Amino acid sequence: MMSSNDLAYIDENLRIIRERCTEAMAKYRSPDDKLRIMAVTKTVAPEAVNHAIELGIDLLGENRVQEYLSKAEAYDRSAEVQFIGHLQTNKVKYIINAVSMIQSVDSIKLGQEISRLAVKNGRVMDILCEVNIGGEDSKSGVAPTELKQLIDELSELEGVRVRGLMTIPPPSDSDIFLGQMKELYDSIASVYKGMDTLSMGMTHDYAEAVKYGSNLVRIGTGLFGARDYSK
């Protein structure tokens, strides 16, 4: 069992993250703007996740269906959980009642399955469209040029509500890509009702992402330390 002493590095990491976020918000954003800090939990032990929740983290990001299901029971239930990883259509059924938002929708096929299961379960699922802003082959996400069409199609579906955009920009030149995402989000939000979420910014670029209008930063390494995939 880990003690809270062993987990004290999380206190310090979170203090730094909050400080940098507060600074960036003060410098670049209007006083009414809100920012949520999501703790990204992949490979992280439930004890560490719960410690972050004790420190005030109220939003968790899950990447992998199996890992989430195996850890969910051990989580403090007070935090909201959103799905942020690549999601296969045949796995939507496992998370439809276990998350409050799916941030990683990049195809109408995935949207249709979320819609079907949301309706079946008598709920509405909030979703974000994941945008492949850098046009990288290695990454999921819809191309910026196809985004409007995808949102048009998703907007027709019952049981889903498109709330905004999510992206993982290329690690280099993130300035340029974060700026492009801001433009894209602003243009989308001016056309479609109910858009209120721009999810971007990870450990290496969250302060910059705040500068470019993010209102949800997703932080793993910066909070919990380097991931150990061997576990």
Ligand X SMILES: *Cc1c(COP(=O)(O)O)cnc(C)c1O
Q: Which is nearer to ligand X, 85 or 159 (CB)?
A: 85
Of 64, 63, 39, 65, whose CA–CA distance to 53 is shortest? Answer: 39
Residue type (1 letter), 123:
R
Q: Which of residues 177-206 bind ligand X (CB under 6 A)?
A: 202-203
Of 209, 132, 133, 217, whose CA–CA distance to 175 is shortest? Answer: 209
Residue 56 gets the label, from left (phi > 0), alpha (psi -120 to 50) or beta, of: left
Q: How far is the CB of 98 from ligand X (least distance, A)?
A: 17
Q: Give the 3-state secondary structure of residue 48.
A: helix
**Among residues 41, 50, 63, 197, which is the contact residue for ligand X, using CB under 6 A?**
63
State the number of CA atoms in the 13 A half-sphere of 168 facing the CB. 15
Q: CA-to-CA distance for 201 and 20, rounded, in angstroms?
A: 12
Stretch that binds ligand X, among 139-147, 170-178, 187-195, 218-226 (CB under 6 A): 218-226
Q: How far is the CB of 143 from ligand X (least distance, A)?
A: 18
Contact 96, 113 (CB under 8 A): no
**Among residues 22, 70, 100, 221, which is the contact residue for ligand X, using CB under 6 A?**
221
**Among residues 48, 60, 84, 114, which is the contact residue for ligand X, using CB under 6 A?**
84
Size of the residue set binding ligand X (CB under 6 A): 13
Q: Does 222 bind ligand X (CB under 6 A)?
A: yes
Q: Which residues bind to ligand X, rule: CB under 6 A? A: 40, 42, 63, 84-85, 168, 202-203, 218-222
